[in-house]
Amino acid sequence: MRAGRYVKQPEHYRAFIPAPLPPDPPIQVDSELTKVLSDADRALGRLDGVATMLPSPDLFVAMYVRLPNRGDTEHTGRRAGIRNQRRR
């Protein structure tokens, strides 16, 4: 893949590792690329506009952020129930 590659991580997710810069061969900027970049820029502007209407953007983002486990259960293969988590 020209842009980079996905590498499986020990925590069972894939991380995107970008290719070194500058790209080889160099990127050719043509009218098609300009249109795609313009569409992406417009979509980011819409997303930014919607974010201003959220009562708490931090709370919204927090729903999608994976927090580390509070114990060592991932390393030992044990599962920790909710009661075990509250005792810590």
The whole-number pLDDT of residue 69 equals: 61
The whole-number pLDDT of residue 78 equals: 55
Are the C-beta atoms of residues 27 and 33 closer than 8 Å to each other?
yes
Reduced to 3 states (helix: H, G, I; strand: E, B; else coil), residue 17 is strand
Residue indicated by tokens 């930014």: 48
The whole-number pLDDT of residue 43 equals: 96
What pTM does this model have?
Answer: 0.45
**Run means of pLDDT, 10 residues per run, the chain, 88 residues:** 88 92 90 97 92 82 73 53 48
The whole-number pLDDT of residue 63 equals: 80
Peptide bond connecting 22 to the previous residue in cis, omega within 30 degrees of 0 = yes
Which amino acid makes up residue 33? Answer: L
The whole-number pLDDT of residue 50 equals: 84
